[in-house]
Amino acid sequence: MFIGKNYPLKKITTIGLGGYCKEFICPEEDKELIEITKTNPLYIGNGSNMCFVTEFYDRTIVSLKKMKKYINIDEQYITCSGNISCTKLSRHLHDNKLPGYEFLYGIPGTIAGAVTMNAGAFKKEIMPNVYSIDLLDEKGNAYTLTQDNLSYSYRTSNINTRSIIVSIKLLRQTEDFDINLLDTLNDKRKSTQPINQLSCGCIFKNPPGDYAAGLIEKADLKGKRVGGIYISEKHSNYFINDGSGTYKDFLLLLQCVKNEIYTKFDILLEEEVILLK
Ligand SMILES: Cc1cc2nc3c(=O)[nH]c(=O)nc-3n(C[C@H](O)[C@H](O)[C@H](O)COP(=O)(O)OP(=O)(O)OC[C@H]3O[C@@H](n4cnc5c(N)ncnc54)[C@H](O)[C@@H]3O)c2cc1C
């Protein structure tokens, strides 16, 4: 089991910001994980929808990245460990000619993170495809949530943040398999979103009936920079860390965008990214 004391936060999220945390733990076996659940830690997937805005995060952070990874397919379901990356899962299903999960390709998170956030792309989202989720509660007890117990809406779900998602059962889809779809969607993603840069995806949720990126562009904020954090030229709802950015730059830019959009359009943007301090 890996235990990093006073661990640098910038190493555990894709935007790479923040100071240090009390400890970062990566269990390798079930019994280690069960013990850790009793300490009320913060669970993290690939940290692609999280941003630490603090010098010191005074909690234990737990990642499943060193635990066993698997994908099993049967007649009805696709069962996978929560720590599988969305891209790997999507590619595996595509290679097995199983349709319906191409939209996950290129989302740089784990399937557990995707389920928690009800991640989506290209007019699809993950939650309607979930049959059940296996979790451990804060006492280390296993339980299962099935479709009837799950509720969700745009980029949110009712999954208890004190529980850890261990595995997920997805429904096999019946639509026709399109051999070109994965590449088509991936090309679309690459041409419209900044990939291979330090970011945490979309910063703001789209307000009802509108697009956060469109509002930011209309407000002439594309490219706006505070220190080492700037608004992407490719997609205005992405903040990029040029490598020298700090969480303070991030917070200043965030507030600036919210203020401008509110002043100009009377719309209060809500963060999609989870801010932790
Ligand atoms: C370049 C880029 C592109 C992106 N494109 C998209 C996109 O197209 N669509 C989209 O919806 N999002 C997108 N995102 C955002 C992000 O990738 C998704 O929200 C992703 O699903 C988050 O997964 P993660 O494993 O990184 O979760 P994290 O960011 O690590 O965590 C997100 C939430 O899930 C919880 N969590 C994570 N793992 C577990 C677990 N095992 N058990 C319990 N709780 C857990 C965390 O506590 C947190 O509340 C993008 C991000 C980037 C950087």
115: nearest Cα among 128, 104, 126, 101: 126
Strand partners, 62: 25, 43
Instruction: Determine the pLDDT at residue 75.
Output: 94
Residue 159 Cα to ligand 1 middle (Å): 14
Kindly state the average pLDDT of the residues 54-62: 98
Instruction: Determine the pLDDT at residue 135.
Output: 98
Instruction: Determine the pLDDT at residue 252.
Output: 98
Nearest CA to ligand 1 atom 8: 121
Residue 182 Cα to ligand 1 middle (Å): 20
Please indicate whether residue 229, judged by its CB atom, sits closer than 6 Å to ligand 1. Answer: no
Query: With respect to CATH, is domain 71-171 assigned 3.40.50.300?
Result: no
Please indicate whether residue 232, judged by its CB atom, sits closer than 6 Å to ligand 1. Answer: no
Instruction: Determine the pLDDT at residue 99.
Output: 97
- d(CA 81, CA 62) in angstroms, rounded, equals 16
Query: With respect to CATH, is domain 194-276 assigned 3.10.580.10?
Result: no
Kindly state the average pLDDT of the residues 68-83: 97
Predicted TM-score (pTM) above 0.85: yes
Instruction: Determine the pLDDT at residue 80.
Output: 98
Instruction: Determine the pLDDT at residue 223.
Output: 96
Kindly state the average pLDDT of the residues 156-174: 95
pLDDT tens column, 224-274: 999 999 999 999 999 999 999 999 999 999 999 999 999 999 999 999 999
pLDDT tens column, 91-101: 999 999 999 99
Domain 71-171 and domain 194-276 have a common topology: no
Please tell me the CATH code under which domain 2-63 is placed.
3.30.43.10
Kindly state the average pLDDT of the residues 24-31: 97
Confidence of residue 218 (pLDDT cuts 50, 70, 90): very high
pLDDT tens column, 104-157: 999 999 999 999 999 999 999 999 999 999 999 999 999 999 999 999 999 999
Give residue limits of the domains in the chain.
2-63, 71-171, 194-276
Kindly state the average pLDDT of the residues 36-63: 97
Average pLDDT, the chain: 97
Confidence of residue 40 (pLDDT cuts 50, 70, 90): very high
